[in-house]
Amino acid sequence: MMPVTEDELADVIRDADGPLEVRGGGTRGIACKGAIVSTAGLTGITLYEPGALTLVVKAGTPLAEVEAALAAEGQRLAFEPTDMRRLLGTGGEPTIGGVVATNASGPRRIQVGACRDHLLGVRFVDGTGNIVKNGGRVMKNVTGYDLVKLLAGSYGTLGVMTEVSLKVLPLPQAMASVAITGLDDMQAVAAMSAALGSPYDVTGAAFVNGRVVVRLEGFGESVTYRAEKLMRELATFGAASVTDFDWQALRDCAVFGNRSGDVWRVSIRPSRMPDTVAALRAGGEVDVIADWGGGLLWVLCRAERDLRADITTGHATRVRGTGGAFPRFHPEPAPVATLSTGLRRRFDPRRILNPGVMG
C-alpha cells in the first residue's frame, strides 16, 4: 500500500485487519511480518527557510533530495544521518522519515546532538488512524509534552510519520582531521577525552585500527588554528598529524560491509571503553571500531553471539544478523519496560505497527 496523502494513510491504518510493516526506503534492515505500508507516496519539501535554519519535509522524501536542497543553500543536516546500505547490503533510497524513525545519527552527535536534537516537529498517524501533530517548526518550543523525541527512534512502532520539521545548520567552510597512531584502548580514550575536553570544538573523535582521528570544522583559518593547538595539546599521546580520513565510511560502518558475522552497536560512557572491549574480546573474537570519543562501539562478531552476556555497562543493539534467541534491542529493566509497553498500548492498541521490531 502506498498512500499519497496523510488522510489516505490514516484510512489504511484504521482499516487494517492485521500487522503492517512500515517502510521508508527499506535500507535499514527493519522488517516484520505484515502488509507493507510505504511512505514513498508522501514526498516533497513543504517549506525551507535557510535564514531561519528550518526545513519541513514529507516523510517519504529521499534523503538525497533533502541533502541536495540544503547543500544548494550551503546548509546540511548536522547530525550526519547514517546510510546503512553498505553495512547491511540493502538497496533502495534512504528516506528522511526512516532517518527520523531510527534516530540515525553519525559521528557529529558528540558535538551537535542526535537526529532527535534537531527534530522540531512531527506529524504522524497513530495505530488507530488518528492524525497527530506535535512540536512545530520553531527552534524553542515547550508547548505540551515532547512527543517529537518519543517518535524519533521509535522505529515506526508508535505511529507512521507523515511530515517532519528539522533544524538545519550551515555547512562549514573547511574541515581537518588530526590523527595519532599506535595507541591502545586506554591511551585512545584518554586522547579522545583530552580532545573533546579542549576548547577547540571537536566534531568527531574515532578510534580505528590503533589510530585516533579527531575532526575540526569551521572557517578556514579557524580550523588551521585549532588543528595546530590540538596537535600540540595531544603531543603527550604521540606525534599528531593532519591526515585524510573517510568520515562517511566511519559514519556508515562501511568497513564491516563485506565481512561476515553479526554487527552490533554498543553504547557506553567513554571511560568504560577499554574494559568493555576487553570483556568483549574475552568472550570471543571481535573487531571493534570506536566512535563518539569511545562512547559508541561498532562490533563485528560471529553470528548468533549474544554480546550482552559480556558487557556490564551501557546497552547493545544488534544492527545486522537475525539468528539467536535474543531481541534486537537491549531488554529494559521491568519498571521502564512497563512504561514502554504502556505507551505502545496507548499509541497502537492493536499492536499492528511494526510488531516485534522493537519489543
Partner 1 sequence: MQMPDPSARVIALKERLAERLRQVLAADAVISDVSETRAYECDGLSAYRCPPLLAVLPASTQEVSDVLRICHEMGVPVVPRGSGTSLAGGAMPTADSVILGVSRLNAVMETNYADRIIRVQTGRTNLSVTGAVEGAGFFYAPDPSSQLACAIAGNIAMNSGGAHCLKYGVTTNNLLGVTMVMMDGTVVEIGGAHLDAPGLDLLGLICGSEGQLGVVTEATLRILRKPEGARPVLIGFNGNAIAGACVSDIIKAGVLPVAIEFMDRPCIEACEAFAHAGYPDCEAVLIIEVEGSDTEIDHQLALIGEIAARHDPVEVREAQDADQAARIWLGRKSAFGAMGQINDYMCLDGTIPVTELPNVLDRIRQMSAEYGLDVANVFHAGDGNMHPLILYNANTPGDLERCEAFGAAILKLCVEVGGCLTGEHGVGIEKRDLMHVQFNAADLEAQMAVKDVFDPGWLLNPAKVFPLDASEAHRAA
Residues 38 to 97: which contact partner 1 by CB under 8 A?
Answer: 49-54, 73-74
C-alpha grid cell for residue 127? 495505530
Binding-site residue total for partner 1 (CB under 8 A)? 85
CB of 225 to partner 1, least distance (A): 6
Stretch that binds partner 1, among 38-46, 112-120, 232-240, 256-264 (CB under 8 A): 112-120
Burial of 235 (0-12, 13-18, 19+ CB in 10 A): exposed
Q: Considering only the stretches 33-41, 193-201, 233-241, 277-285, report the one whose residues sit in contact with partner 1 under the rule CB under 8 A.
A: 193-201
Q: Which residue has the cell 557506553?
A: 268
3-class state of residue 51 by DSSP: helix
Shortest spacing between CB 130 and partner 1, in angstroms: 5
Asked if 156 and 59 touch (Cβ cutoff 8 Å), the reply is no
Q: Based on CB atoms, which residue is closest to partner 1, 179 or 358?
A: 358
Residue 148 and residue 136: Cα distance in Å, rounded?
Answer: 9
C-beta closer to partner 1: residue 23 or 272: 272
Which amino acid does the sequence have at 39?
A: T
> Which positions from 299 through 358 interact with partner 1, judged by CB under 8 A?
314-315, 317, 329-330, 332-333, 335-336, 339-340, 342-343, 346-347, 358
At position 52, the amino acid (one-letter code) is A
Stretch 13-42 residues interacting with partner 1 (CB under 8 A): none
- Grid cell 517502510 is found at 23
Would you say 167 or 305 has its CB closer to partner 1? 167
In this structure, are residues 302 and 285 in contact, taking their beta carbons and an 8 Å threshold? yes
User: What is the rounded (10 degree) CA torsion for 183, 187, 189, 192?
Assistant: -70
Question: If residue 100 lies in a helix (H) or strand (E), which one and from where to where?
Answer: helix 96-101
Contact status: 248 vs partner 1 (CB under 8 A): no
Q: How far is the CB of 237 from partner 1 (least distance, A)?
A: 14
Q: Which of residues 130-189 bind partner 1 (CB under 8 A)?
A: 130-134, 136-150, 152-154, 158, 169-173, 189
CB 148 within 8 A of CB 119: yes
114 touches partner 1 (CB under 8 A): yes
Interface with partner 1, residue 116, by CB under 8 A: yes
